[in-house]
Structures are given as structure tokens and as C-alpha cells.
Structure 1
Amino acid sequence: MMQKYYSQLKLSNVWDSTLQGLQIYPYNPKLFTSLVEIGCLYTVPVKLRRMFDEYCQKRPSVIAWLFAVSYELDKECSRHRIHALFERALANDKLEHSVILWRCYIAYELDVVCNPSAAKRVFFRAIHACPWSKKLWLDGFLKLNSILTVKELSDLQEVMRDKEIHLRTDIYEILLQDETNA
């Protein structure tokens, strides 16, 4: 309801209501969206960063960390901050096994920073932290296939087979296609 009437309400009322809402519903994505929107328009970045840091420390959740990262993605000089946010989130005992955080970190390294070697390192850390996640394993084959060597891809397939994570296609056919296309 607040989002509908932003323009008619005072900033302090909207800000206070959003913060009170987050106290009652700490994992509500709409409230975090509102917080980021208001913060981008009306507050200085340091204040919103401090709030996210404090909130993520007191009540760590995947949602809070992802919104903190999404806020930083809009800023141009935030690469170090985003790396630090991902590292702090994944260092948390409650969140270190979060597949979505690992996948976002890999995607960030590949698509935003364009650092394939860092994405490869993050990928190996991710499958170590979440070995049950088929999505993470598939990210290795689909997103990192140009970065990983044939030996690494074949080793990954063997480990997946040992863990009974099955692929629907024969990976050797894909590797042969890549070699003939090269």
C-alpha cells in the first residue's frame, strides 16, 4: 500500500514504516524492495550500506544479502564491496550451504566482472560446500565449459556419477562436438 502512495506520503513516514515492517517481517522481499527504492532516492549510500550491514549481521538471510548485493550492483565502484558481501554471506554458518548465493556469486564473476578464473575458483568452493546441488554441478558444465579443461570436465562427470547426480546427455558427446567445432 505504501508503494502505491509514495508520492503522497512524507519520506520520514515511509522510511519509518518500512523499518518497522522489517522488524515484524524480517524476510519480506517487498519491504526490502521498498527500502532499496527509498534509499536510492532519498538517502546517502553510506546510510543504506550501514543498515544492510547491521541487518545482515543481526538477522542473516539469503534475502537480505541478495538485496544488499543488488543495491551495490547499481553503483559503479562497488566491485570490492560486492566481493566482500558475497564472502561475508558465505562465511556465515547458516548461509554457507545456500545454493542460490553460490550461483549468484558465480554469475557475478562471469557476467559482471568477466573474470573466468575467479568464477572457476568460486565454482569449486561451491561444489565443496553444496555437493548435493545438481544446479551447481550443471553450472560447471554449462557456464564454465570454455574455462574448464577437458580433464576437469571429465573428472567432474566422474564425481557426479559417484554422487549419483545424473546427466541426461553423454558429456563425452558434448566434448567431442566442442573439439570438432574448434
Structure 2
Amino acid sequence: MAWLGSCGAVTLPAAAGGSGAAGAAATPLQQAEMVAAKRGFQDHLLALMRQQQQAAATAAGGQSGAAEQAPAALSAGGRALVAAAAAFELLLGRLRGSLAAGVKAALAIYDQVLAALVPAQQAPQQAHRGAAGPADAQLELLSWQRSALAADAARHAVPGAPPAMAREAVLRALRLFPGSLPLLHLLVAHEMAGHTLTQLRRELHGLLEVAPSPQAWLAMLAVEVGSRSPSGVVAATLERAVSHPSGRACPLLWRCYLRFEAHRGRYEAVRRLLLRAIGACPWSKAMWCDGLALLNGRVPPKELSEYMEVMKDKELVVRTDMLEVALAQLEGGAQL
């Protein structure tokens, strides 16, 4: 890491003497080498932020104030550079015997870069409009890395990294990327590990009010199932999800609802749900197959045949010859 940050000014352990772990043990990193690597990473980060800001200004067409309204697109190499600089600070903290200082420095690097690429005033504006945030996968991943580092530090009780700080980091990232599955998963895992389910539900409800998305509904469903809520609460959550415009066109939510009702043994409800799901997501072959498999043996064969005809009308091709399946069933073979 020191060699990378210093652009080769710090020699590799193998070149200094020996090879592998023996060479590293024989030539410990000196204070001057640590400083050189640290300054090298700082120079690389400053150059990256200048480059990104110039790119944002160019993309904005030179209009006054436009560069502050649109975040700069981040490359995979730029994100890797930020992650390497943060990792070096963590390693440096361990070498100096202060992991808390390393975590603090690494988080500061992430905050510095994110503040430069995403202006602070942009987040509340996007949240007010219910926008999905900047369409930049690398920036989203960088935000997740920063949040994951804070969550890991809180989980291991690192001094200066309380759970509240990790929670705020995840929520701040979700204001920019409200539909991010990794960030939502991190929020759910962090809050459930701390047994703060009431606060987690309140946070997800707030997110669904500002920027509803299928991912947020799935996170809410994961909370109710993971906390072993009563079946009525789970069913109410699923019903709200598929009834809301943001979740109505999500086949996965319908499939979860179908399987949940089948698990409860309410096959008449499964039949009604399948009819609703067909109207909402007629293109989803997986949803059709789930519904037919759950209703197989629970409704008259003629009704299943009618469903198959509708599938054909929707141009959803079934590659298995249904006549062969019916003959196999009569012979005691495989089920549909």
C-alpha cells in the first residue's frame, strides 16, 4: 500500500531484501515512508477531485451554477483509489496501535471525496422531489463503502464510532440513492443487530413517503419477516406494497405475496392474488409459473388450462409440452 501511494518511492519488501513475509518482517515501514505514502495518496485524491469537478463543469455546458447541481460521474478507477487511500489509513492506524484513529482518518477521506463530488445542498433537494439520486453506480458503491466502514466500526465497538454515527451515514447515503439494495440491506442489518426495530420501521416509512421504490418495500418486508411479526402484519405489508404504484409493477413482490398466502394454506386467496398479479405484471413468466405451481391440484384442471391459454395470448412460451406433463401425471410421474 505504501508503494502504491508513494508511486514507487517506497520500495517493495521483496526488493528491499528477502521475499514474501520474511522480507516484510526484515524491513518494517519507516516513519518517513509512511509520511511519503500518506502525502502521495493525498495528492492523488486532490487530483481526482479536481478532475471530477472539471468534468462536471464541462458536462454542465459552462452554465452558471450548473456544476454545483449535478454530481460528477466517478470511474471505477477513481473509486478504487479512494478505497485504497482509506485502506491505507486503516492499516496505518493498526501499525501505530490506534485502530480508532485509522477508522477516523479513513472515514474522513470518504467524507472529503463525497462532499466534493456531491454538493451538500443537493441531498435535501432530491429528497424533496423524491428523485432516485444521481445515476452513478460507482458513486453509489463509494457511499456504501463509507457506510459499511462506519457500521463495521460500530459493530466492533471502536472508540469514536457509535452506532448512531453509522445510522446517520447510511441514511445520508439513502437520501441520494433511495433505491439502493446494498444500502437498504446495510440499514436493516445494522438496526436489527442493535434491536432497534421501532426506529428501523420509522426510517423505512419515512423513506417510502419521500422516495417509494420496490427495493424499499422489500426491505420493509424483510424487517417484518426477520422479526417474526404476526402473519397479519406481514400480509398487511405485502398488501400495501402491491397496492402502491411503486410496487404494483414489481413481480417479485407479487411472488412473495403468492407464496406467503400458500404457506398459510389460503389457496382461494392465492387464486385471487394471481388474477390481480396477471393484471399488474402480465409479462412476468416467473410469476405465472409460481401461481400455476401453487394452484396445481387446488383448482379444477380446466381453470389451469384457461390460464395456460392466457399465457399463450400474452406470448409467454412454455417450453414443456403440457400434454406430456398430463400423461406423466396420469402414470404417477412428475407433478406439474
TM-score, with structure 2 as normaliser: 0.50
Cα distance change, pair 57–146 in 1 and its aligned pair in 2 (3 A):
farther
Task: Tell me the number of residue pairs that the alignment of Structure 1 and Structure 2 aligns.
Answer: 181
**RMSD of aligned C-alpha atoms?**
2.0
Cα distance, 1:116 vs. partner? Answer: 2.7
CA distance in 2, matches of 1:77, 1:138: 28
Q: Deviation string for 1:3-40 (max 9, x for gaps)?
A: 44332221111111111111122122222122112211
Q: Deviation string for 1:20-73 (max 9, x for gaps)?
A: 111122122222122112211325322222222221122111111001101111
Cα distance, 1:180 vs. partner? Answer: 3.6
Q: Deviation string for 1:135-179 (max 9, x for gaps)?
A: 222223333323232011111111122222221122132233224
Q: Secondary structure at the match of 1:57?
A: helix
Which residue of structure 1 lines up, in the alignment, with residue 220 of structure 2? Answer: 68
Cα distance change, pair 89–41 in 1 and its aligned pair in 2 (3 A):
same
Residues 35-44 or 119-128, more deviating: 35-44
Cα distance change, pair 28–163 in 1 and its aligned pair in 2 (3 A):
closer
CA distance in 1, matches of 2:291, 2:243: 22
Cα distance change, pair 4–46 in 1 and its aligned pair in 2 (3 A):
closer
Cα distance, 1:75 vs. partner? Answer: 2.2
Cα distance change, pair 45–4 in 1 and its aligned pair in 2 (3 A):
closer
Q: Deviation string for 1:90-148 (max 9, x for gaps)?
A: 1122321211211121122224x343332222122111211122222222333332323
Higher RCO structure (Cα 8 Å, ≥6 apart): 1
TM-score, with structure 1 as normaliser: 0.87
Cα distance change, pair 61–173 in 1 and its aligned pair in 2 (3 A):
same
- Is the 1:99–1:136 contact (alpha carbons within 8 Å) kept by the matching residues of 2? yes
Q: Is residue 287 of structure 2 the alignment partner of residue 158 of structure 1?
A: no
CA distance in 2, matches of 1:160, 1:181: 26
Which residue of structure 2 lines up, in the alignment, with residue 38 of structure 1? Answer: 190
Cα distance change, pair 140–77 in 1 and its aligned pair in 2 (3 A):
closer
Find 2:235's aligned residue among 74, 83, 96: 83
> Once the two structures are aligned, what percentage of the paired residues are identical?
31
Give the residue type in structure 1 aligned to 2:249: H
Q: Secondary structure at the match of 2:319?
A: coil
Q: Is residue 275 of structure 2 the alignment partner of residue 127 of structure 1?
A: no
CA distance in 2, matches of 1:164, 1:140: 17
CA distance in 2, matches of 1:148, 1:65: 30
Cα distance change, pair 154–45 in 1 and its aligned pair in 2 (3 A):
same
Give the residue type in structure 1 aligned to 2:236: A
Which residue of structure 2 lines up, in the alignment, with residue 115 of structure 1? Answer: 266
Q: Tell me, which stretches of 5 or more residues in structure 1 are unaligned? A: none
- Is the 1:120–1:147 contact (alpha carbons within 8 Å) kept by the matching residues of 2? no
Q: Tell me, which stretches of 5 or more residues in structure 2 are unaligned? A: 1-148
Which residue of structure 2 lines up, in the alignment, with residue 2 of structure 1? Answer: 150
Greater radius of gyration (CA): 2
